[in-house]
A and B are shown apart, each in its own frame.
Chain A
Amino acid sequence: MRSRNCEWHNSTLRNLAKRALLGLFFVTVMGWGATGFALGPSSTPSIFSPDSTPAHDIYHLSLFVMAVCLGIFLVVFSLIVYSIVKYRRKATDDDREPPQIYGSNQVELAWTVIPILIVVVLFLAAARVIHAVEDAEFPPNTIEVTATGHQFWWEFQYPAYSFTTANELHVPVSDGSHPTPTHIILLSADTDHSFWVPQLAGKIDLIPNRRNEMWIDPKVPGHYVGQCAQYCGMQHAKMLLNVFVDTPEDFQKWVQQQKEPATTSDQVAAGRKVFEANACMNCHTITGTISHGRFGPDLTHLMSRTTIASGAAPNTQDNLTLWIKDPDAIKPGCLMPAMQLDEQDVNALVAYLMSLH
């Protein structure tokens, strides 16, 4: 028997379609039920617990796309399983060849046109979110931050407040009644980097000689984690990102503190002398002093940060001491050199750094 058109099992197909739709429905409902805006920050930066509008828009798009994909998967996978179970050669089969079927114009047309329609729908859904995120307008009270990627740490400048900090980004919470989004300009001082805090927004690269931008409007205060997502050299793995979303009052308090020049105290004058007499000042800035280096993180308010070395270690006395003596012990391959200071100088230096609140 030969034919150009195969006999299509309509009832089977209809059953499969029904089942697929049901599965799709369950996943969608479960997806939406388990979500919610504003679940709060987590130490696992899942893209499925968004707390900011761009991340949330992406999250909704992702549910839709995954539901469509799951539907397609169920239908096609069932067809594959059905055909290999139903049409396997059985012991009772004779040696005759099965009917030689060369194709079917109708069926082939169907499985060309239906995917085209699905693709159009997916394109429209994606285009809508691209537009919403990339072409967003900002209210006048938007916080501006310039993030500059360095091997292997982050520099954050707040041009409106004229101060610079590093590695830990503070932004105000943006609640519905009083939206204060943060607009981040992304630059790079050396190689490519990528700013990725999954709960707040998708990643955007920081590329030298190029100005990129992104925005976030976190809904829940707290500590969000992320990290560099574009390979940038030896210590790409420990170029971590910490974003602190503060209440408006806390944010203002933090801004006021950061705007102050560094505290000076005679008790730590010895350490300050070590800092200024050595190469430390070539790379680090401490405002209010003669240290104006730009290669390394701004240390003016070092002790207001919870970690050192871009999140590689907690900001404690022991870690600071170790970091100055042997940075490679914490972050092998980082660009901070071991300063070869004697014990007394190191202790004085750590005491000075620990005074920089």
Chain B
Amino acid sequence: MAEAQPIVPPLVIPQEREGSRPFVQVLHDWIVTVDHKRLGIMYFSYGILALVIGGIEASIMRAQLAVANNNLVSPEVFNQLFTMHGTTMIFFAAMPIVFGIANYLTPLMIGARDMAFPRLNAWGFWMTAFGGIILYFSFVGGFGLYGAGSAPDVGWFAYAPLTSPAFSVGHSTDYWTIGLLISGFGSIATGLNIMTTVLCMRGPGMKLNRMPMLVWLNSVMAFLILVAIGPLTAAQLMLLIDRFLGGHFFDTQAGGSAVIWMHFFWIFGHPEVYILVLPAFGILSEVIPVFSRKPIFGYNIMVAATVAIGFISLSVWAHHMFTVGMTSYANAFFVASTSAIAVPTGIKIFNWVGTMWGGKITFTTAMLFSVAAVAQMLIAGLTGIMLAAAPFDWQLGNSYFVIAHFHYVILGVIVFGVFSAAYYWYPKVTGRMMSETLGKWHFWLFLIGFHMTFDFMHIPGLLGMPRRIYTYEASRGWQTWNTIVSIGVIFQALAVLIWVFNATKSYFRGKIAGSDPWDAWTLEWSTSSPPPDYNFAELPVVRSRRPLWDLKHPEDPDWKYE
């Protein structure tokens, strides 16, 4: 099904090969770049680096928990590990990765030459990057330059008053706060940029209701960023005022409120989940149709469901707080709002199945990851329903069941979606195909490892194991489950290594991809691989949701039916 020639031939502007130029010059080009594609790659690579670091932190934790009463790491180190793991994965792995994908693809998919604000885009990336560096600098400077370093150990949601100067001595919490504050500025910039690009930069004929699903989902993500990062920024500023200027917002010993921090954090924290998962949904909504050879089932309701998820996700935050002693009315309200989000999410799952139904499905690695993500979203959604029933959450909240649930979302859906995207768009980004054989090894090993780890992780939670404990008594009967969970990590690590190897090898040795290796339908496949700096020689005119289908099937174009 490979079509080697670009549908719209690119302008031929001779480009020097990077290898022939001095390294310093290449590096300089990357550092000063404002090109959305390069920034996309930088965001993505930065996120993958953080993913590996966060993965190593997780592996050490799993080694510690594999057997009862283990002494591999001290409680102090363990507490730093889970804080850094959570913070790294959410803010410096997942967010940069989805921003990278959005940056790279949004202009290409809507027929634009760049993002609306290229310089702001570069600024956002560097803010995010500096935020991560500041966070990790805590390993050196946590107790100030006079003492030994120490990473923050307050947990990734840093509940007050554990962050107050009385309980968090030294500067580790400050590195955490300032790191997130600064990367938050970067995120807001990116959200603003995606939003503006989608609203103002669409190519000729690209109406809102003709945009690819991924662009729709990214614009809802951008909207959520603009709404949700603000409260986090405010909370971080209040915490800084508390810690440096003698404020008492969260200082319970001076009459402050620990619960206010929770509200601030989670009104950011829950939309954040959707900031991360919506782009993954978008990836599935691009990959599944192409490999089922059918258009997305129910485009309108899919878009409506996305917007609905966006709005409802702003009203569910206190389901993270069912155990803080809210009134029965407040608890009931958040049960209702949280369960309601299952409806649009369910619609999405059903529509992906509807897309595959009656198709001719090819199981490329990208499709395998997407299909697995759909099935895993189903399970994650159902455990979410269980947690949404407040009384059930009184048992399951803060237990390993919750850990398993949200890792199902973050790994099972987001990371699977990202891997799917990596295989699907790799040819577009590099001009070469990734090895399908290694890809299948990657998929199956990762799938086995994922299910070993996160299926079995639910069980200790049901048996009363709380999160964030560095060790446990053998008599509690949690050891067998924890051992299985830990063994699964080995498979996942191996799979990721295979992926990195595959990506590296294919960059030099992979089969030449051509502009449209998957016989796909969205605009990015109409230009060469990798796309030229200006993306499109002439901006393509769009008449339907699948412009390339129309070009390939002039006798039976989509625009006749939409």
A interface with B by C-beta (< 8 Å): 2, 6, 43-48, 55, 57-58, 61-62, 65-66, 68-69, 72-73, 76-77, 79-80, 83-84, 87-89, 93, 97-104, 107-108, 111-112, 115-116, 119, 122-123, 125-127, 129-131, 133-135, 151, 186, 190-192, 194, 196, 198, 201-205, 207-210, 212-213, 225-238, 240, 332-333
Contact = CB atoms under 8 A, between A and B. Distances in A.
A200 to B, nearest CB: 11
B144 interface: no
Contact of B335 (A69, A72, A130): A130
A62 B256 contact: no
Interface string B384-405: 0110111111111111000000
B379 interface: yes
8 contacts: A48-B462, A58-B392, A76-B378, A97-B293, A126-B335, A133-B391, A230-B323, A233-B79
B339 A119 contact: yes
Contacts of B74: 332
B463 A84 contact: no
Contact of A100 (B259, B294, B389, B463): B294
Contacts of A131: 328, 332
Nearest to B162: A191
Nearest to B327: A134
Contacts of B466: 194, 196, 227-229
A58 B358 contact: no
B468 A236 contact: yes
B56 interface: no
Interface centre among A55, A72, A205, A332 (most CB of B within 10 A): A205
A44 B476 contact: yes
Given A44-B464, A192-B162, A209-B257, A231 B155 contact: yes
B188 interface: no
Given A111-B347, A119-B339, A126 B395 contact: no
Contacts of B252: 207-209
Contacts of B374: 80
B395 A204 contact: no
A45 B375 CA distance: 31
B299 interface: yes
Contacts of B347: 108, 111-112, 115
Contacts of B397: 202-203, 229
A297 to B, nearest CB: 20
A6 B167 contact: no
A232 B324 contact: no
A46 B391 contact: no
Given A61-B392, A101-B294, A130-B332, 8 more contacts: A44-B476, A46-B462, A84-B356, A97-B293, A126-B390, A198-B395, A204-B323, A209-B258
Contact of B323 (A66, A205, A234): A205
Interface stretch (B16-24, B359-367, B415-423, B487-495): B359-367
Nearest to B335: A126
B346 to A, nearest CB: 5
Given A115-B342, A126-B389, A236-B469, A43 B353 contact: no
B271 interface: no
B130 interface: no
B391 A111 contact: no
Contacts of B301: 103, 108, 112
B392 A62 contact: yes
A337 to B, nearest CB: 16
Given A112-B343, A204-B325, A76 B391 contact: no
Interface in B301-340: 301, 323-325, 327-328, 331-332, 335-336, 339-340
Contact of B346 (A48, A97, A111, A192): A111
Interface residues of B, number: 95
Interface in B520-540: none
B430 interface: no
B475 interface: yes
A210 B325 contact: yes
B300 interface: yes
Chain A to chain B: the 10 pairs with minimum beta-carbon distance, closest first: A202-B394, A45-B464, A237-B469, A212-B325, A44-B477, A103-B298, A208-B252, A126-B389, A229-B466, A134-B328
A204 B336 CA distance: 20
B257 to A, nearest CB: 7
B354 A209 contact: no
B394 A203 contact: yes
Nearest to A70: B382
B349 interface: yes
Contact of B386 (A55, A65, A190): A65
Contacts of A240: 473
B380 to A, nearest CB: 11
Nearest to A121: B339
B298 A119 contact: no
Given A89-B361, A130-B391, A192-B258, A115 B343 contact: yes
B391 A58 contact: yes
A69 B299 CA distance: 27
Given A44-B477, A130-B328, A191-B162, A62 B386 contact: yes
Contacts of B336: 123
A102 B397 CA distance: 41
Given A119-B343, A204-B325, A102 B359 contact: no
Nearest to A311: B473
A102 B351 CA distance: 10
Given A65-B386, A88-B361, A134-B327, A127 B477 contact: no
A68 B384 CA distance: 13
A87 B360 contact: yes
A186 B323 CA distance: 12
A230 B159 CA distance: 10
A115 B476 contact: no
Interface centre among A6, A68, A202, A227 (most CB of B within 10 A): A202
A353 to B, nearest CB: 24
Given A46-B463, A47-B464, A61-B389, A231 B323 contact: no
B308 to A, nearest CB: 10
A158 B76 CA distance: 34
B350 interface: yes
A122 B353 contact: no
Contacts of B299: 102-103
B408 interface: no
B392 A126 contact: yes
A135 B332 CA distance: 12
B559 interface: no
Contact of B358 (A101, A122, A127): A101
Given A112-B301, A225-B476, A229-B398, A119 B328 contact: no
A197 to B, nearest CB: 8
B325 A213 contact: yes
A226 B473 CA distance: 11
B385 A207 contact: no
Given A133-B391, A212-B324, A101 B297 contact: yes
A104 B299 CA distance: 10
B440 to A, nearest CB: 15
B15 interface: no
Interface centre among B349, B391, B466, B558 (most CB of A within 10 A): B391
A231 B162 contact: yes
B350 A6 contact: no
A212 B74 CA distance: 32
Contacts of A46: 462-464
Contacts of B294: 98-101
A331 B74 CA distance: 10
A125 B75 CA distance: 40
Contact of A45 (B358, B371, B385, B463): B463
Contacts of B553: 97
B357 interface: yes
B292 interface: yes
Nearest to A133: B391
A265 to B, nearest CB: 35
Contact of B159 (A73, A126, A231): A231
